[in-house]
């Protein structure tokens, strides 16, 4: 007997939503609690140049591609920052945090193959995973790579 036969559909979706909320809380609370490390600062600078000038120059030998930078521009605009100098660190870190939550949501695609119970456990473990949470709270490319690879 699988989970939907034992529980109502509303209960199953509510439980999954609770896991998504838990993932969100783990990833977005106090994003400004530590200073940016050197890789983050480099990514932030590249994004800031794009935000201020509208130009991104790709360097295959030194930097990653532009996905992180271009996806950050709408968040910077929504934050009200007039430019790079007015932007705040939590705004930058919000994008990887949201992609970290997105990984939990992507697990919904596995529910027909795994079953609801297994999908819920996988989502819970992903939501509270120290590694997933850690990399979702830095303004770096890695969590986006994991998301798009999934």
User: Which tokens sit at 92?
Assistant: 């930058």
> Do the beta carbons of residue 138 and residue 31 sit within 8 Å?
no
User: For a pLDDT cut of 90, what percent of the chain falls above it?
Assistant: 83
Comparison of pLDDT for 35 and 61, the residue scoring more:
35
Place of tokens 């690879």: 149
Q: Taking residues 123-144, report their average pLDDT.
A: 96
Domain membership of residue 33 (yes or no) is no
* Distance from C-alpha of 58 to C-alpha of 49, rounded to nearest angstrom: 12
Residue 96's domain comprises 7-26+43-149
Q: What single string gives the DSSP state of each residue in 77-135? A: HHHT-SSGGG--HHHHHHHHHHHHHHHHHHGGGGHHHH-HHHHHHHHHHHHH-HHHHHH
φ and ψ at 141, to 5 degrees? -80, -20
3-state DSSP assignment of residue 59: coil
* Distance from C-alpha of 80 to C-alpha of 116, rounded to nearest angstrom: 41
Domain membership of residue 35 (yes or no) is no
Domain membership of residue 34 (yes or no) is no
Based on the structure, what is the number of domains in the chain?
1
pLDDT confidence band for 1 (50 / 70 / 90): very low
Comparison of pLDDT for 138 and 12, the residue scoring more:
138
3-state DSSP assignment of residue 39: helix
Q: Taking residues 20-31, report their average pLDDT.
A: 96
Q: What is the pLDDT of residues 95-106, one digit of tens each?
A: 999 999 999 999
Q: What is the pLDDT of residues 55-113, one digit of tens each?
A: 998 888 877 889 999 999 999 999 999 999 999 999 999 999 999 999 999 999 999 99
Domain membership of residue 36 (yes or no) is no
Domain membership of residue 124 (yes or no) is yes
Place of tokens 């990653």: 64
- State yes or no: pLDDT of 120 exceeds 60: yes
Domain membership of residue 134 (yes or no) is yes
pTM attached to this predicted model: 0.90
Range name among 57-71, 97-111, 119-133, 136-150 with the lowest pLDDT average: 57-71
pLDDT confidence band for 17 (50 / 70 / 90): very high
* Distance from C-alpha of 1 to C-alpha of 17, rounded to nearest angstrom: 22
**pLDDT at position 63:** 73
């Amino acid at each position: 007997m699988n989970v939907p036969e034992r529980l109502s559909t509303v209960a199953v979706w509510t439980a999954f939503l609770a896991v998504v909320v838990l993932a969100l809380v783990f990833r977005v609370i106090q994003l400004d609690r530590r200073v940016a490390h050197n890789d983050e600062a480099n990514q932030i600078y590249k994004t800031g140049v794009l935000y201020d000038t509208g130009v991104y120059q790709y360097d295959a030998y030194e930097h990653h591609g532009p996905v992180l930078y271009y996806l950050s521009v709408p968040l910077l605009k929504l934050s009200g920052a007039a430019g790079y100098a007015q932007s705040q660190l939590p705004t930058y870190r919000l994008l990887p945090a949201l992609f970290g939550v997105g990984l939990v949501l992507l697990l919904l695609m596995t529910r027909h193959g795994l079953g609801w119970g297994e999908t819920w456990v996988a989502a819970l473990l992903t939501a509270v995973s120290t590694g997933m949470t850690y990399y979702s709270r830095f303004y770096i490319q890695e969590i986006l790579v994991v998301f798009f690879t999934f």
